[in-house]
A and B are shown apart, each in its own frame.
Chain A
Amino acid sequence: MSAAETDKTPSGRRRIRNTALALMSVALAFYFGIIALLVYRGTHH
């Protein structure tokens, strides 16, 4: 399957959705991660 055809097939759509969800998870992990890190630092002097 060509790359440009991906958005026309169910498996292609799934790949696009999964890539987007994976990247969104990374972003959320950085957001909550940095806050969790500082909360941990604040409570474990």
Chain B
Amino acid sequence: MAHDHTSHAHHGAHDDHHHDEPAKGIKRWLFATNHKDIGTMYLVFSLIMFFVGGSMAMVIRAELFHPGMQLVHPEFFNEMTTNHALVMIFGAVMPAFVGLANWMVPLQVGAPDMALPRMNNFSFWILPFAFTLLLSTLLVPGGAAAGGWTLYPPLSLQTGDAFPMLIFAIHMMGASSIMGAINVIVTIMNMRAPGMTLLKMPIFCWSWLITAYLLIAVMPVLAGAVTMLLTDHFFKTSFFNAAGGGDPIMFEHIFWFFGHPEVYIMILPAFGIISEILPTFARKPLFGATSMIYAIASIAFLSFIVWGHHMFVDGMPLAAQIFYMISTMLIAVPTGVKVFNWTATLWRGSITFEPPMLFALSFLFLFTIGGFSGLMLAIVPVDFQYNQTYFVVAHFHYVLVPGAIFAIMGAVYYWIPKWTGHMYNMTLAKTHFWLSTIFVNVLFFPQHFLGLAGMPRRIPDYAVQFTDWNMVSSIGGFGFGLSQILFVIVIVQCVRGGQKASAKVWDDARPTGLEWTLPSPPPYHSFTTAPEVP
């Protein structure tokens, strides 16, 4: 990798106009309408939530280090599992992707900013309030929600004073996501540079465009479901109350109509990121780029018709079981197209192993493990065995941690020199990668064995035969958690200074895309004149 030491990048950030300067002090952030500032706030917020949710995971793994009750009350353990999920999904992964979209979508489509900058500010600033409210439920009488992030009634209706706070927090998160999604769609549909047809658009933008449509379709459904929970709790309605003629199973249907597309909301932008990183460091164009777009769209469509696979053990007609099993397995087809296309992109490529590439390669192997265990869970009789065991926990953590979170880390390592104008400490970043990859497997792979041996999920205590693999898993958890301190160190060092990054940053690899035509860091107001795309 070569770096342009005489880069005009730094000056480029300040040579436009006298008003090309951010506001001073706290006003810059409170009243931010600049997509780069809002993107930065989203990413910082996400990182903080990653550590908040991670600390809850550490409590869980510490308690499970030994059989028997060790450190916390069982009720608090349940609060940890529930809130760990809510914080990681809505506070860490989703805001990280929105932050990346804020930074990169305007730069990749050649737009001066997001289409609706004030709404952008609003959708970010809702989040700190939503999560302050959510986390404060840990302090109220009756404790925080402890019935799982799925909020199934009637259990969730037994939540104490935290219940209305939780519902309001979820409404705020949903409103924030919907506004973010509207902003992405409106920007992409209306503000692309001249000549940038949809099929010429970078694949990260494509993945986000499709994700944004998913968000608009399913977040209101979650909001509707929790509103009905709220009226069941406080206004004597019986949407989900069997005693009043309602149907608790109906909640599960509605929840998973939201919940399954939600899984893809957390992975499709990751697919986009991997499709940006692999071609750069393999020094080849993305294999089957158009088929990648169709694959993302197919996965998005299928995500709406597979929700029943979360409910096989509830009991459903055989025809429904078969439908949900086959439709779920069908997802493997477009996902397989993607995995094979990524592999074909690497084939005979001139590959180098910079930190973003390491994370992308790790994603390719480890996400695929999560995908395969998902296929196993799609098989109805198999699911009857694995449901509610640690096998499920292993499956979705493989998809979300070395899947979504590794893609986010890869994206940060790929684009942070562009954002800050500085290269980062490669050795430290590679150390972060190797420790993360080793420990994430130590953490989650044994959970497959635990699940197959019958260890149930969401319990603070377990039978002694599960001790050894739980110890291994917990050691992996502590190792993975500690390794993330390196990530913060690399980021802080990179923001504060370092070797100057050139406009293309990865000069040897010749990355393609409009973002690399701008200096590093880009001017505060970039693409004030629309670039021409040949």
- Complex Cα spacing A7 to B110, Å: 13
In the complex the two chains form, is B224's CB within 8 Å of A34's CB?
Answer: yes
Do A19 and B190 form a contact, CB below 8 Å, given A4-B527, A4-B530? Answer: yes
Known A15-B190, A20-B186; 7 more pairs at CB < 8 Å: A2-B193, A2-B194, A3-B191, A20-B119, A30-B218, A31-B221, A34-B220
- Complex Cα spacing A5 to B530, Å: 7
- Complex Cα spacing A31 to B185, Å: 19
At the interface, is chain B mostly helix, strand, loop or mixed? helix
Collect the chain B residues with CB atoms within 8 Å of residue A28's CB: 220
Does B498 touch A at the CB level, under 8 Å?
no
Q: Specify the chain A residue showing the minimal Cβ separation from B195.
A: A2
In the complex the two chains form, is B112's CB within 8 Å of A42's CB?
Answer: no
Within 8 A of A (CB), among B158-196: 178, 181-182, 185-186, 189-194, 196
Do A7 and B115 form a contact, CB below 8 Å, given A16-B186, A23-B182? Answer: yes
In the complex the two chains form, is B190's CB within 8 Å of A24's CB?
Answer: no
Does B364 touch A at the CB level, under 8 Å?
no
Q: Give 1 or 0 for each of A6-32: 1 = CB within 8 Å of chain B CB.
A: 110000100110011001101111111
Do A35 and B191 form a contact, CB below 8 Å, given A4-B530, A23-B182, A27-B178? Answer: no
Collect the chain A residues with CB atoms within 8 Å of residue B219's CB: 27
Does B509 touch A at the CB level, under 8 Å?
no
- Complex Cα spacing A41 to B247, Å: 10
Collect the chain A residues with CB atoms within 8 Å of residue B196's CB: 3
In the complex the two chains form, is B194's CB within 8 Å of A3's CB?
Answer: yes
Interface 9-residue window, one of B238-246, B331-339, B340-348, B479-487: B238-246
Do A30 and B217 form a contact, CB below 8 Å, given A16-B116, A23-B185, A42-B238? Answer: yes
- Complex Cα spacing A33 to B254, Å: 12
Collect the chain A residues with CB atoms within 8 Å of residue B116's CB: 16, 20
- Complex Cα spacing A24 to B216, Å: 8
Interface size for chain A: under 10, 10 to 19, 20 to 34, or 35 or more residues? 20 to 34
Q: Specify the chain A residue showing the minimal Cβ separation from B216.
A: A27
At the interface, is chain A mostly helix, strand, loop or mixed? helix
The A-B contact count (CB < 8 A) is 95
Does B225 touch A at the CB level, under 8 Å?
yes
Q: Could you say which of A3, A16, A24, A26 has the most chain B C-beta atoms within 10 Å of its C-beta?
A: A3
- Complex Cα spacing A28 to B219, Å: 10
- Complex Cα spacing A7 to B187, Å: 10
Q: Whole-angstrom distance from the CB of A3 to the nearest CB of chain B?
A: 4
Collect the chain A residues with CB atoms within 8 Å of residue B119's CB: 20
Do A12 and B190 form a contact, CB below 8 Å, given A23-B185, A31-B224? Answer: yes
Can you pick out 26 interface pairs between chain A and chain B where the beta carbons lie within 8 Å of each other? A2-B530, A3-B193, A3-B196, A3-B530, A4-B110, A4-B112, A4-B191, A4-B193, A4-B527, A7-B191, A15-B190, A16-B191, A19-B189, A20-B119, A23-B182, A24-B178, A27-B219, A30-B221, A31-B220, A31-B223, A34-B224, A34-B225, A35-B224, A38-B254, A42-B238, A42-B246
Collect the chain A residues with CB atoms within 8 Å of residue B182's CB: 20, 23-24, 27
Collect the chain A residues with CB atoms within 8 Å of residue B189's CB: 19
Does B227 touch A at the CB level, under 8 Å?
yes
Collect the chain A residues with CB atoms within 8 Å of residue B193's CB: 2-4
Q: Whole-angstrom distance from the CB of A31 to the nearest CB of chain B?
A: 4
- Complex Cα spacing A26 to B216, Å: 7
Does B292 touch A at the CB level, under 8 Å?
no
Within 8 A of A (CB), among B481-534: 527, 530-531
Q: Whole-angstrom distance from the CB of B181 to the nearest CB of chain A?
A: 8
Q: Whole-angstrom distance from the CB of A27 to the nearest CB of chain B?
A: 5
